[in-house]
Structure 1
């Protein structure tokens, strides 16, 4: 089944031109039946998505999911984590947030694309996208000897916990080392940003574009190390991780 879904995604990527319409591949099967009530489900089969940039994304059979891409603050607005309109996007998004296969910006953008393909309005999808850009998990690959953006001294060492509160490290699927930060939906900073920015985003209605969302998120997070840097950042981690 995994090979079959993979071939389907590959075929769609060959047929669709760049910036083709996004599309899901396969059927989302959550097991055991009724698992949504407990908040703990397992994928019964491989489930994929081809985004608007022609990139294939796949969540494997057996993946555990709790619908975590719908944070508690948003549930009164959009429904519970297993709401039909959002669960497909959440499954794909969470799978790649946990594995750091692609950069955090690209991973969060696929959530927006998947929401639209699920039938969510541009207005609501844009607000969800803004929230995940601001409060969602972040990661950046650590590369020895590569300098950071202007204003950050981390060529030789990144002091986890002291210089970057809340930061951690994680290994990618190809043994790459990442500087990471978990979601911050419960923080005062996130609450303040959402309170300030959401009314203006809501006013744009269905004219709200993802590029506008990305710009506003970057303004709101000015000075944040993950927004300042690209996909990679230089440095060792307090001498605890060696780069061969």
Structure 2
């Protein structure tokens, strides 16, 4: 991350741009990229859950969160990867990234459920009518 803090309205955490592109290949063999300067606040963990889940910018979360943010994160709406993949695939990639990053599988499933259920395009958001659950492997 670059030491160039960015504050976005109505967001609990400070965002930072990614210093260099992050490339990730998920469990299905799909390639994902967070271009340089993608904004991320880490895993966007509500402050009430930090004592349970950990800091949003923990090493095991930060890369998965940054790649996820490139595709659907606040502050990246004009980025080249924003909404370039189905939201379900983006959230599954986040889970895979957490596992590869060293997140405990139980914790990764909890974090996956949080983005799946709480994401703007998740079942509580705009795509509720087309929601088809796909659990992580």
Tell me if 1:227 matches 2:127.
Answer: no
Give the equivalent residue in structure 2 for 1:156. Answer: none
Provide the rounded CA distance (Å) in 2 between the counterparts of 1:57 and 1:127.
Answer: 22
Tell me if 1:41 matches 2:11.
Answer: no
RMSD: 2.6
TM-score, with normalisation over the residues of structure 2? 0.73
After TM superposition, give the deviation of residue 68 of structure 1 in Å: 4.8
Measured at CA, do residues 116 and 228 of structure 1 come closer, stay the same or move farther in structure 2, by a change above 3 Å? closer
Q: SS at 1:138's partner residue?
A: coil
Give the equivalent residue in structure 2 for 1:32. Answer: 3
Name which of 59, 77, 85 aligns with 2:52. 77
**1:90-129 maps to which residues of 2 (within 5 A)?**
90-98=65-73, 99-129=82-112
Name which of 47, 52, 58 aligns with 2:33. 58
Q: Which runs of 5+ in 1 are unaligned?
A: 1-29, 140-165, 168-179, 182-223, 230-244
Hey, which of these two has a bigger chunk of strand by percent?
1
Give the equivalent residue in structure 1 for 2:116. Answer: 133
Provide the rounded CA distance (Å) in 1 between the counterparts of 2:53 and 2:16.
Answer: 20
Give the equivalent residue in structure 2 for 1:87. Answer: 62
Structure number with greater Rg is 1
Alpha-carbon displacement from aligned partner over 1:94-123 (angstroms, at most 9, x marks no partner): 111141111111110011100000111111
Provide the rounded CA distance (Å) in 2 between the counterparts of 1:54 and 1:80.
Answer: 29
